Amino acid sequence: MRMTKRFSLFAAAAALAASSSALAAPTFINVLTGGTSGVYYPIGVALSQLYSNGIEGSKTSVQATKASVENLNLLQAGRGELAFALGDSVADAWNGVEDAGFKTPLKKLRAIAGTYPNYIQVVASKESGITTLADLKNKRISVGAPKSGTELNARAIFKAAGLSYEDMGKVEFLPYAESVELIKNRQLDATLQSSGLGMAAIRDLAATMPITFVAIPADVTAKIDNAAYQAASIPAGTYDGQDSDVPTVAITNLLVSHDGVSDDVAYQMTKLMFNNLDRLGNAHSAAKDIKLEGAAKGLPIPLHPGAERFYKEAGAL
């Protein structure tokens, strides 16, 4: 009888410990970004700090990645809770466009918000003599990591301009910082990068040597068979030595989660972001373009129910 009673006490204690452990289990939030010299990363760090302080029991981390395509595949695999990605890549992921880096449709993805636009920024060393897209023929260029959002943008823009990789003298598939370093060392002539305005790598290049911003004319943009691509311009003075507006293409960035993230966590992630836009803008000026009014409109994938709850409360749906 005494042994039975003792066993019951042990069992009760074990059950209580298990219950307490479950209640105290941390909420992991891994924020998937991009290269550390880009725009996704500093904004991702700022979001991580907001969530660490604002979501009780959360354990946050920030992961530097090759950006859009890798991020979306990681989300589908449950290896992140929030990720930055370009709108066209998100649409391709949802539809399972294999040539864009998605072997099957990624149907676990859920949208948190449309954020700020990425601008296609084609930059060449002044000494290369490149002033137009046509001048890229037989030149050495970097177009972003293979099958990254940037590289998919490069393919679309070159196709619309009547160009292909075969027309180039050399094509490197490198992210921001590495591309810029090779231009500095005269090993590349130009780079095409998709990023928010004022990105660190291009600021660094512009401060180091004379460069030319290559325009993407509106008639080229109009030939791109994807509604995510919109004509835009890089305002004069965005970078050192850039004295006039540069016509280009803009594509909206999305913050994406997946259906394994609880509605409550998704709600808190969305609310904390929009309640602290000033802090995100301090992390990087590109975040100043994030607006609540359009954040839930024109999304290529379903909204996460937690995010939807926030938008309904805020009157933004």
What is the predicted pLDDT for the residue at 24? 57
What integer is the mean pLDDT of 259-286?
97
Report yes or no: 82 and 50 within 8 Å, Cβ to Cβ: no
What is the predicted pLDDT for the residue at 257? 98
| End-to-end alpha carbon distance in the chain | 64
Distance CA 258, CA 108 (A): 5
Give residue limits of the domains in the chain: 27-116+253-314, 118-251
Other residues' Cβ atoms within 10 Å of the Cβ of residue 24: 8
CA atoms within 13 A on the CB side of 89: 30
Fold of 27-116+253-314: D-Maltodextrin-Binding Protein; domain 2 (3.40.190)
Q: pLDDT averaged over the chain?
A: 92
Tens of pLDDT, residues 57-76: 999 999 999 999 999 999 99
In the block, tokens 């009780």 appear at 56
Dihedral of alpha carbons 39, 146, 68, 59, sign: negative
Question: pLDDT over 90 for what percent of the chain?
Answer: 83
Beta strands (DSSP E) in 87-189 are 109-125, 140-142, 170-172
Report yes or no: 228 and 251 within 8 Å, Cβ to Cβ: yes
Tens of pLDDT, residues 84-98: 999 999 999 999 999
Tens of pLDDT, residues 165-223: 999 999 999 988 899 999 999 999 999 999 999 988 999 999 999 999 999 999 999 99
Is residue 5 over pLDDT 60? Answer: no
> Hey, do 27-116+253-314 and 118-251 end up sharing a CATH topology, with the first three levels equal?
yes
| Superfamily of chain region 118-251 | Periplasmic binding protein-like II (3.40.190.10)
Using a 10 angstrom Cβ sphere, with 0-12 exposed, 13-18 middle and 19 or more buried, the burial of residue 180 is buried
**Full-model pTM:** 0.83
